[in-house]
A = this chain, B = another copy of it.
Amino acid sequence: MSSDSGPGRRRDGELATVDRIRDAAIERFGRDGFGAGLRAIAADAGVAAGLVVHYFGSKQGLRRACDEHVLSIIRHEKTKALTDGSGSMMFAQLAEVERFAPYLLYLLRSLQAGGELAGALIEQMTADAEQYLAEGEAAGVVRPSRDRAARARYLAYQSTGGMLLWFTLHGSSGDPESFRRLFRQYVDEITPAAVELFSQGLLIDRSMLDAFLMYVPDPPAQD
């Protein structure tokens, strides 16, 4: 398959058929969920239904190819963002959200359906969160935690799951423009509450935390 050997473009600049099918599948799956039919995907790619299974073996094979491609894009963009810097990353990504809309929609569908990609994704998110939080601790900006890994994991699940649920209920319709608008709306809606919670917590004092630590006395092994 050409995804292993470069971008897979032709001499005339057009994408190769295999990649065109894969991209059409990513878009369709993102729009309609993984219940979308092979014939619809094939039609989107301007191709017969038999060709997609000829290239990918089966629908499951097609999904796997989509997963791998999206994951490679994530990793690529991630390293690009890391070399960029620390602070401006989020906002730069947010500005580019429209360009990546199909992949984000596909990711949301993956999280919705579960499976390997989803698992790998939140695993990577917890790893990233743990790293960022550790840097924040070192810089004296983030409070230390009794269990860094658990906190990172908790934050990854909560933020990702909250976003997933929000988009599930606000029906993302598909086209990049409305997706960008929706994304902006989501960020505007949750940011104030998130910043407030992160800055000052929810409870007045530590009594509940202390009471809880009485019942679960030993902090998990850190080594």
Chain A residues engaging chain B, CB cutoff 8 angstroms: 35, 111-114, 118-119, 122, 140-143, 145-147, 150-151, 153-155, 157-166, 168-169, 171, 189-206, 208-209, 212, 216
By CB atoms of chain B within 10 A, which of A145, A146, A165, A171 has the most?
Answer: A165
Q: Which residue of B lies closest to A219 (CB)?
A: B192
Q: Answer whether A200 and B143 are a contact pair too, CB < 8 Å, given A158-B159, A161-B165, A164-B165.
A: yes
Q: How many copies does the complex hold?
A: 2
Residues of B within 8 A of A143 (CB): 200-204
Residues of B within 8 A of A158 (CB): 158-159, 161-162
10 closest Cβ pairs, A-B complex = A161-B165, A161-B161, A154-B193, A201-B201, A199-B209, A161-B162, A158-B162, A198-B202, A114-B168, A157-B162
A interface SS class: helix
Distance of A181 from chain B, by nearest CB (Å): 18
By CB atoms of chain B within 10 A, which of A119, A153, A201 has the most?
Answer: A201
Give the complex CA separation of A158 and B153 in angstroms.
Answer: 14
Residues of B within 8 A of A206 (CB): 199-200
